[in-house]
């Protein structure tokens, strides 16, 4: 699916990006290749013959989330790379 320069202009305006004419030519080619690849993936997935009504094993089964007590917490904690008291110590996620 080859894109036109006008379509690249429209995409760049939507993304609020400015490009030189050379960059637009390069983007036209690269975006066309990406869209062709997406089209190929779309065709593969749309041609999938899995029918969930016929194959009940293909359904993602989930078990109930049940809290359980740990019989030997020390066995688990001894495998942690770092710990502080009875807790596993991890790096801060938010800084």
If one compares 30 and 60, the residue with the highest pLDDT of the two is 30
Residue 41 confidence (pLDDT): 87
Q: Is residue 70 part of a domain?
A: no
pLDDT higher than 80, residue 71: yes
Q: Is residue 21 part of a domain?
A: yes
Q: Which helix (H) or strand (E) holds 74?
A: helix 73-77
Task: Check which CATH number belongs to the domain holding 20 and give it.
Answer: 1.10.20
Q: Is residue 59 part of a domain?
A: no
Percent of the chain surpassing pLDDT 70: 84
d(CA 27, CA 10): 12
Q: What is the mean pLDDT of residues 22-45?
A: 91
41: containing domain: 5-46
Q: What is the mean pLDDT of residues 59-78?
A: 85
| Count of the separate structural domains present in the chain | 1
What does pTM read for this prediction?
Answer: 0.47
Question: Is-contact 15 38, C-beta < 8 A?
Answer: no
């Amino acid at each position: 699916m080859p894109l036109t320069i006008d379509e690249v202009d429209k995409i760049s305006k939507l993304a609020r990006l400015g490009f030189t004419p050379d960059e637009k030519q390069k983007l036209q080619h690269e975006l066309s290749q990406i869209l062709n690849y997406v089209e190929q993936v779309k065709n593969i997935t749309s041609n999938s013959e899995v029918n969930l009504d016929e194959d009940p094993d293909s359904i993602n089964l989930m078990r109930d989330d049940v809290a359980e007590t740990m019989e030997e917490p020390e066995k688990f904690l001894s495998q942690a790379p770092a710990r502080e008291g009875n807790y596993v110590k991890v790096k801060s996620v938010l800084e």
